Amino acid sequence: MGKERITGSEALLRSLINEGVDTIFGYPGGSIMPVFDALYDHRNDFRNVLVRHEQGAVHAAQGYARSSGKVGVSIVTSGPGATNTLTGISDAMLDSTPVVVIAGQVSTGVLGTDAFQEIDFVGITQPITKWSYQIRRPEDIAWAVARAFYIAGSGRPGPVVLDFNKDAQVAMLDYEPAKVDCVRSYIPYPTPSRNAIEEAARLVNESQRPLLLVGQGVELGEAHEELKAFIEKADIPAARTLMGLSALPTDHPLCVGMLGMHGNYGPNFNTNECDLLIAVGMRFSDRVTGKLSTYAKQAKIVHIDIDHAEINKNVTVDVPIVGDCKEVLPLLTALVNKAEHKEWIESFARYNAIEHEKVTVKALNPGSGPLLMGEVARKVSEATANSAILVTDVGQNQMMSARYFKYTKPHSILTSGGLGTMGYGLPAAIGAKIAMPERTVCLFTGDGGMQMNIQELGTIMEQGTAVKIILLNNNYLGNVRQWQELFFNHRYSWTPMLNPDYALIAQGYGIPSRLVVERDELDDAIAEMLAAPGPFLLHVAVMEEANVMPMTPPGASVNEMIFE
């Protein structure tokens, strides 16, 4: 049977089908119109989600990818359509999210002439992608798509850009599917050093005060069970990064809390008390380490990561193990002794009890006064049997919901960690719900972040996406205001927010909503939200000048947390 002669646009769509793609987040325009025309005939093959802004397209693809483990796909036009995706691409790069962004481009004959909506998209995106490539010939389409998906989804995941010239979209070719499972000089799954694993096991066996740091790499590598087997055998307390919160259930007996600037006191304090620090699939972000010159200086450090570029980048380690944690952890588990560190583990509880008394009790059970973000987050979590997917925007809403939500299932927190992108939450929640329709998706957002991509309420309206939106409204850009209070002498420079009537906005998009001001209304309102068959906006008026505590101040050591 001979090869079928088809257009480049048709070849692109068949190549996406060949990669198992069934959902696209996109926005049409002049330079990508042939692809969208071909898409018209593939309405049964793809769910094409028309977003309201190209930034929303990439964030939605991120939410889809992070919750499902698949590669997310966005298709946009050239010029502003392409440049509008840059924030999402950058976010995906820093948070290791596998997305493929396909952008239209002007025809090859006018490249470099400043043609209408021409921009050097490959040049712009090379620093913020794993691979960026311009398709100029239709014969390259199948190969480029296969290579893009292989690179995006393998090893340490990340974004890939395909810049698709318009003449290649309309030209004819003899189509043949392509498969890429190897790229020269790219080693996505490095073979871990046996000597390094043996040395790490020796350190574990000699340690009296070990501490394991759980990063998102455990989620990306689907190494949840391997992690539990390792810490349970060696009796090692485990603390989670923001991105790795759902990699270990909240109620696991060896889970000692969250790391970082707004994490829990016990794991932060004991980072500078442990004699062995084992980092798994995390990158020693400044938000985790605090002051680097004083970070875990007393400890031997083992770092397990699939990306060799992360080794010794921020923190110098004693035993680097470059490899997939799903492969490395069982090898390590086989070599470590069955151990018990009862007194060491109890020390975390003592420090966390201090935090509980000074912060948590007040955050969850204030008794009187305005509603607080923490109590709202905990009540929503418990009302979902702690099984929902938490999607956050960025700011105080992010920190408070992440802190007080509970996690029982993997892939249950989607948040912008590395870039800290306000506006991430709403489109990411749409992508998550489309990917995982059987799970409850709860978006926590602030009044600032909500308005960054508020147009995506239109996507929810059109798609009927049953996202539960919890808007924590304090009439401020809360996180910046907190820093202004603590470090800029209460000079609230352009952080107070004059907000619209969100009920009217929701009504305009056909989304039911409810405003909660009084505490005794909250439980009933949450029940109403969760019982609604479709989307719902729960608008909660919270204390205006509340702060996220505890906090490691900028420039302070990780164990120097403040409580008020």
User: What residues contact 454, with CB distance under 8 A and at least 6 apart?
Assistant: 426, 505
Query: Which residue type does 307 have?
Result: D
Return the pLDDT at 264. 97
Return the pLDDT at 2. 59
Residues of the chain with CATH 3.40.50.1220: 194-348
CB atoms within 10 A of CB 231: 23
CA atoms within 13 A on the CB side of 164: 39
User: What residues contact 108, with CB distance under 8 A and at least 6 apart?
Assistant: 136, 165, 167, 168
Angle at 128 between CA 169 and CA 290, to 5 degrees: 160
Q: What would the pLDDT profile of 79-123 be if each residue is shown by its tens digit?
A: 999 999 999 999 999 999 999 999 999 999 999 999 999 999 999
Q: Is the pTM of this model over 0.95?
A: yes
Nearest to 385 by CA among 250, 541, 255, 516: 250
Asked if the bond preceding 550 is cis, omega within 30° of 0, the reply is: yes
Q: Could you tell me the strand order of the sheet in which 536-541 lies? A: 413-414, 389-392, 441-446, 468-473, 536-541, 513-516
Token pair of 527 as six digits: 């029940």
Whether 230 contacts 329, CB under 8 Å: yes
Token pair of 25 as six digits: 């987040």
What gap in Å lies between CA 182 and CA 149, rounded to an integer? 12
Return the pLDDT at 558. 95
Q: Within the chain, which residues score under 50 in pLDDT?
A: 1
Q: What would the pLDDT profile of 215-228 be if each residue is shown by its tens digit?
A: 999 999 999 999 99
Whether 206 contacts 271, CB under 8 Å: no
Return the pLDDT at 405. 98
Return the pLDDT at 105. 98
Return the pLDDT at 538. 98
Return the pLDDT at 1. 47
Token pair of 219 as six digits: 């989620």
CATH tag, 4-175:
3.40.50.970
Residues of the chain with CATH 3.40.50.970: 4-175, 371-541
User: What residues contact 409, with CB distance under 8 A and at least 6 apart?
Assistant: 246, 387
What gap in Å lies between CA 223 and CA 230, rounded to an integer? 11
Helices (H), 255-357: 265-271, 286-289, 325-335, 342-355
Nearest to 374 by CA among 123, 542, 253: 542
What gap in Å lies between CA 223 and CA 69, rounded to an integer? 13
Rounded to an integer, what is the distance from CA 474 to the centroid of its chain?
Answer: 24
What topology is assigned to 194-348 in CATH? Rossmann fold (3.40.50)
Nearest to 78 by CA among 140, 175, 167, 173: 167
Whether 209 contacts 238, CB under 8 Å: no
What gap in Å lies between CA 318 and CA 306, rounded to an integer? 17
- The domain over range 371-541 is classified in CATH as 3.75.10.10: no
Q: What would the pLDDT profile of 317-363 be if each residue is shown by its tens digit?
A: 999 999 999 999 999 999 999 999 999 999 999 999 999 999 999 99
Whether 230 contacts 520, CB under 8 Å: no
User: What residues contact 157, with CB distance under 8 A and at least 6 apart?
Assistant: 65, 71, 96, 97, 98, 220
Whether 440 contacts 389, CB under 8 Å: yes
Nearest to 443 by CA among 460, 418, 461, 419: 460
E strands present in 168-287: 172-175, 210-214, 238-240, 255-258, 276-280
Virtual torsion, Cα 31, 37, 42, 47, nearest 10 deg: 60
Q: What would the pLDDT profile of 260-316 be if each residue is shown by its tens digit?
A: 999 999 999 999 999 999 999 999 999 999 999 999 999 999 999 999 999 999 999
